[in-house]
Chains A and B, each alone.
Chain A
Amino acid sequence: MNLVGQIVEWFANPHHWRGLGGVPVRLAQHLEYSVFALLVAAAIAVPLGAGVGHTRRGVFLIVGFANGLRALPELGLLTLLVLGVGIGLVPVVVALAVLGIPPLLAGTYAGIRNVDARVVDAARGMGMRERQVLFKVELPNALPLMLGGLRAAELQVIATAVVAAYVSFGGLGRYLIDGLATGDGAEQAAGAVLVVLLALAAEGLLVLLQRRLVSPGLRAEPIGPTGAQR
């Protein structure tokens, strides 16, 4: 039987949908690790990116920091963390957050940095304080790029959260790691399909979120002098 047929059969087997090893539980675990990791990444990357973008100080530091994080090998980092602090959810979430930080940091920094200088000037001219400039003008204007960063981070984190299974946790990685260990190709392929579907679903959700959150003024085609410059 070909692989596609085997995958279809795997999904059709009701045994794979029940209990602690079933698809719903594995999906929830996978989402759980991913969401925790993204929250941790956002808690670090957004304030840092906003601070640097607003003050324009330490730019070279965060660029180096973010690029350095990108270069870390994920499985090696996770193993190192587990050997250091022991098996637990903390090493998993930290290792995944490390993946989420660079795109979120770059998105936030670039978003704030690219807000039209005249808009920021106008805000100051109206008598806004620096805090108000950041929260009322820069951050809302930076939202499209920030959410772009979030989408990139989400995709990376969901795709990579399979490594949790490498250190005894659940999630969709269980199908990949267990399938590999027992030579079950259909199980591995089914796990891979599920990861792709989950990543695409999350991507779709974030696109919808982006449509709702971003101010209509930012979504419209640029007109006037700004548009002419492009």
Chain B
Amino acid sequence: MNRTKFLLGGLAVVAVLALSACTGGSGSGSGGSPCSELVFGGPPEFQTRADGLPGISKTYGCEFKDFRALDTGGPLTVKALQDGTIQAADLFTTDPAIADRGFVVLDDPKNSFAAQNVVPLINKAKATPDVAAALNSVSAKLTTDGLVQLNRALAAPDKPDVATVAKTWLVKNLLLTGATAPGVAGIIAVGSANFPENRVLAEIYAQVLELKGFTVTRRFGIGSREVYFPALKDGSIDLVPDYTGVLLKHIQKSAPQTGADEVYDALKTAVPEPLTVLERSAAEDKDAVVVTAATAQRYGRSLANYGAPK
């Protein structure tokens, strides 16, 4: 019978596959630099996008040993960094997991990642001095660490709603003063993108405007900038909390600016009618190369120490 032949053939296939499993997957390092010792994990597109690995390589001469495609600043990346599967990761600066797990955000002195300061994007017709003053008072108090705390509060086990978290923040930052009769100053439609941090920022804007006597319509959880940007232009919403870097790139795809002030200045001139941006906050939610405390102790806390000198 041919049965034995078949079984032997099958076994051979399995053996070949097992062998290929053992030999695959070795990375190439540039030799010598700390980067060449580290396996990097991040979202799949990080390998090819301009401000991803190509940007880090160009700016700092940093070639990582290998790349593992994981999620976008999510639990898989955090887990992989913690258990040592990867030694450097792309996480967001406002992720509470960074402090919770003792990770270190590496400084990016040459701005390989563009600045991403929180900024109110608003319809000019609605940006009266009162409104601008109210929103600028929020921007003045926002910090990156404050965003981390907002995110941590939102992720708490009892899942508080954004209104509660926003109110707590406003009370803590002493912005809950000078309330007037609600609903007389005008109507403003506040929108947000569909991730928790952006919702809570929009809610903070909304509450601060309500305190100034505006009636606020909330349009939270709009899918993406591709949807809410046209909605702002056609006036179906009036105000959205946005981030300077990505907003500039959305308007001018090839914008070269990366520093906080340059990006903001470019943004102010680039924003099309009838929109405008108010004052930017110091708070930044952007990609960052994150390492474990042990790695930071060994090689330093700045990306500039990680690449090979050119």
Query: B residues within 8 A CB of A182?
Result: 44-45, 48-49
Interface string of B1-36 (1 = CB under 8 A from A): 011001000000110011011001100000000000
Q: Are B75 and A83 in contact (CB under 8 A)?
A: yes
Query: A residues within 8 A CB of B85?
Result: 86-88, 168
Q: Does A155 contact B (CB under 8 A)?
A: no
Q: Are A79 and B44 in contact (CB under 8 A)?
A: no
Q: Are A209 and B79 in contact (CB under 8 A)?
A: no
Which single member of A35, A83, A168, A178 contacts B68 (CB below 8 Å)? A168
Query: B residues within 8 A CB of A35?
Result: 13-14, 17
Query: B residues within 8 A CB of A83?
Result: 75-76, 79
A29/B76 contact (C-beta < 8 A), A86-B85, A168-B70, A182-B45 known: no
- A109 → B minimal CB distance (Å): 23
Which single member of B6, B69, B71 contacts A178 (CB below 8 Å)? B69
Bound-state CA distance A168–B68 (Å) is: 5
Q: Are B14 and A39 in contact (CB under 8 A)?
A: yes
Query: B residues within 8 A CB of A209?
Result: 6
User: Considering residues A167, A170, A174, which has the most beta carbons from chain B within 10 angstroms of its beta carbon?
Assistant: A167
Bound-state CA distance A32–B24 (Å) is: 12
Interface string of A76-99 (1 = CB under 8 A from B): 000100110011110000000000
Bound-state CA distance A104–B76 (Å) is: 31
Query: A residues within 8 A CB of B100?
Result: none
Which residues of chain B in 34-67 are interfacial with respect to chain A, using CB atoms and an 8 Å cutoff? 41, 43-45, 47-49
A212/B41 contact (C-beta < 8 A), A29-B24, A31-B17 known: no
Q: Are A181 and B70 in contact (CB under 8 A)?
A: no
User: Considering residues B41, B43, B49, B76, which has the most beta carbons from chain A within 10 angstroms of its beta carbon?
Assistant: B76
Closest to B67 in A: A168
- A94 → B minimal CB distance (Å): 16
- B258 → A minimal CB distance (Å): 21
Q: Does B176 contact A (CB under 8 A)?
A: no
Query: B residues within 8 A CB of A170?
Result: 24-25
Query: A residues within 8 A CB of B18?
Result: 32
Which residues of chain A in 21-40 are interfacial with respect to chain B, using CB atoms and an 8 Å cutoff? 25, 28-29, 31-32, 35-36, 39
Number of interface residues of A (CB under 8 A): 30
Query: B residues within 8 A CB of A28?
Result: 17, 20
Closest to B9 in A: A209
Which single member of A82, A88, A180 contacts B76 (CB below 8 Å)? A82
Q: Are B45 and A86 in contact (CB under 8 A)?
A: no
Q: Does A165 contact B (CB under 8 A)?
A: yes
Total A-B residue contacts, Cβ distance less than 8 Å? 73
Which single member of A31, A86, A87, A181 contacts B44 (CB below 8 Å)? A181
Bound-state CA distance A35–B15 (Å) is: 11
Query: B residues within 8 A CB of A174?
Result: 69
Closest to B68 in A: A168
Query: A residues within 8 A CB of B48?
Result: 182
Which residues of chain B in 241-257 are interfacial with respect to chain A, using CB atoms and an 8 Å cutoff? none
Q: Does A177 contact B (CB under 8 A)?
A: yes
Query: B residues within 8 A CB of A79?
Result: 75-76
Q: Does B83 contact A (CB under 8 A)?
A: yes
Q: Are A20 and B20 in contact (CB under 8 A)?
A: no
A177/B14 contact (C-beta < 8 A), A87-B83, A212-B6 known: no
Q: Does A213 contact B (CB under 8 A)?
A: yes
Bound-state CA distance A181–B49 (Å) is: 10
Bound-state CA distance A134–B94 (Å) is: 62
Query: A residues within 8 A CB of B14?
Result: 35, 39
Bound-state CA distance A178–B48 (Å) is: 10
Which single member of A87, A89, A213 contacts B79 (CB below 8 Å)? A87
Bound-state CA distance A99–B19 (Å) is: 25
Q: Are A82 and B79 in contact (CB under 8 A)?
A: yes
- A17 → B minimal CB distance (Å): 16
Q: Does B282 contact A (CB under 8 A)?
A: no
- A167 → B minimal CB distance (Å): 6
Which single member of A32, A82, A212 contacts B20 (CB below 8 Å)? A32
Query: B residues within 8 A CB of A166?
Result: 71
Closest to B1 in A: A212
Which single member of B6, B17, B44, B79 contacts A177 (CB below 8 Å)? B44
- 18 A-B pairs, CB-CB below 8 angstroms? A35-B14, A35-B17, A82-B76, A83-B76, A86-B83, A86-B85, A87-B83, A89-B21, A166-B71, A168-B70, A174-B69, A177-B44, A178-B45, A178-B69, A181-B44, A181-B69, A182-B44, A182-B45
Q: Which residues of B contact A (CB under 8 A)?
A: 2-3, 6, 13-14, 17-18, 20-21, 24-25, 41, 43-45, 47-49, 68-71, 75-76, 79-80, 83, 85
Q: Which residues of A contact B (CB under 8 A)?
A: 20, 25, 28-29, 31-32, 35-36, 39, 79, 82-83, 86-89, 165-168, 170, 174, 177-178, 180-182, 209, 212-213
- A-B pairs with the 5 shortest C-beta distances? A181-B45, A181-B44, A168-B68, A32-B17, A86-B83
